[in-house]
Amino acid sequence: MPAPLTEERNRLDRAALLDAAERLFYERGVQAVGMDEVRAVSALPLKRIYRFFPGKEDLVVAVLRRRDQRWRESLAAFVELVPDPRERVLAVFDWLADWFAEPGFRGCAWINAHGELGSSSEAVLAEVRSHKRAFREQLAEWVGATGAPVAEQVFLLVEGAIVTAGISGDPEPARHARAAAAALLGMP
């Protein structure tokens, strides 16, 4: 019964591949990273990489999709510890502040991918829009629970904060966006 062993190894290697690709793509951009570098960092034969994903575009999409899961789950796990609806919305910005302060933070992976590939890869564009839609709905539920009809506005603050922190390299936008969200929620 080597079959289960093979499957287990597949799972691990696939994860290692996505780890390597995600790190490289996020740090340096998709087009600036060659498949050979992905191979070197993942320590997987090129042949096996192309068995997992038939082309680079598929790898990019898979990276974004897995990151979407992790990113939104991590955010949800953090903010849902906060019981009060309005404080819960503000906790989103506390989570952002922690994220912005992480070493190697370089803005939103989906926005970056959109700028780089949004016009040339239909699949990447769809994945970016899917992530943004999912996050927007997630956020809209939390904001909706406060009773204030400002979900879209809070979403724009989050997006602005991520982009600005990514470009400036400064986590400060999280605090300003938090203050703005508090005002919109009627918390003086």
Give residues in contact with DNA (CB under 7 A). 2, 6, 31, 33-37, 45-48, 50, 54-57
**Taking the complex as a whole, how short is the minimal distance between the CB of residue 48 and DNA, in angstroms?**
4
Instruction: From the list a copy of itself, DNA, none, pick the one residue 113 interacts with, judged by a Cβ distance below 5 to 8 Å according to partner type.
Output: a copy of itself
**Binding to a copy of itself by residue 118, rule CB under 8 A?**
yes
**Taking the complex as a whole, how short is the minimal distance between the CB of residue 163 and a copy of itself, in angstroms?**
5
The four Cα atoms 135, 59, 8, 43 give a dihedral, to 10 degrees, of -130
Shorter beta-carbon distance to a copy of itself: residue 17 or 161:
161
Q: 155 with 139: CB under 8 angstroms? A: yes
The four Cα atoms 12, 60, 30, 40 give a dihedral, to 10 degrees, of 30
Residues 93-112 that bind a copy of itself (CB under 8 A): 106-107, 110-112
**SS3 string of 146-162?**
CCCCCHHHHHHHHHHHH
Backbone phi and psi for residue 73, each to the nearest 5 degrees, phi listed first:
-65, -40
**Binding to a copy of itself by residue 41, rule CB under 8 A?**
no
Nearest C-alpha neighbor of 6 from the set 55, 43, 51, 36: 51
**Taking the complex as a whole, how short is the minimal distance between the CB of residue 167 and DNA, in angstroms?**
23
**Binding to a copy of itself by residue 64, rule CB under 8 A?**
no
Contacting residues for 10 by C-beta, under 8 A, at least 6 apart: none
**Binding positions for a copy of itself, rule: CB under 8 A:** 27-29, 31-32, 106-107, 110-120, 128-129, 132, 150, 152-153, 155-161, 163-164, 166-168, 173, 176-177, 179-180, 183-184
